[in-house]
Amino acid sequence: MSNILVIRSAATGDASISNTLIDAYLAATPGATVVDRDLDADPVPHVTSRSLAGIGRQAPEGTDFATTRALADMLIAEVFAADTIVIGLPLYNFGIPSTLKSWFDYVLRAGTTFQYTATGPEGLVKGKKAIIAHARAGQYDDTAGIALAVPHLKSLLGFMGVTDVEVVTAEGLAFGPEAAAAAITGATAKIAALAK
């Protein structure tokens, strides 16, 4: 049986297309064990001077850091427990939502999810698959250096060792109702097919 970790980052709730794509994937994987983490309903705090040490390799003693440490440990445990990580990715001002960036700030921990070796960095989260459910108003070439969300997310995942990444994109959602419907239908079929 598969263990799926879902990370949702849309701020649009029931109207979210990235959430719709995630739900289509989950509907096509009956029987899976699912941890569904919605960063809109339950955001990971931004890293601040009060919390920074708590997300590091070794958190110092103290209540300021204990809460941060416990949350980071839980988020990291969810990653290691999953076989498949499904990430909802709205394009926000050409990048990833800040809620999703905060999640990575807690999860990318030296010595736990990656390490530096004599030959460079090594991801320690191995043998997992990631599926990115991407939604955006416009249409972009992800290699052109304008829309940076997909390449950034692949870098973050790759840094912790997750290199088997599928991207499903619903785009052109602001190009009129017909274009939007066609984009959503196509992306929904594509992500559901990945579950097979």
CA angle 132, 153, 46 (to 5 degrees): 110
138 binds ligand FMN (CB under 6 A): yes
Residue 163, classed as helix, strand or coil, is: coil
12 binds ligand FMN (CB under 6 A): yes
Q: Are 119 and 74 in contact (CB under 8 A)?
A: no
Binding mask 90-129 for ligand FMN (x = CB under 6 A): xxxxx-----------------------------------
Q: Which of 140, 152, 66 is nearest to 101 (CA)?
A: 152
What distance separates the 2 farthest-apart alpha carbons in the chain?
57
85 binds ligand FMN (CB under 6 A): no
Among 4, 6, 7, 17, binds ligand FMN (CB under 6 A): 17
Q: How far is the CB of 17 from ligand FMN (least distance, A)?
A: 4
Site for ligand FMN in 18-77 (CB under 6 A): 18-19
Site for ligand FMN in 162-181 (CB under 6 A): 173
CB-nearer residue toward ligand FMN: 66 or 174: 174
135 binds ligand FMN (CB under 6 A): yes
* Number of residue whose CB is nearest ligand FMN: 90
Number of H helices, E strands in the chain: 5, 7
Residue 123, classed as helix, strand or coil, is: strand
Residue 88 CA to residue 133 CA, distance in Å, equals 5
Contact footprint for ligand FMN (CB under 6 A): 10, 12, 16-19, 90-94, 135-138, 173
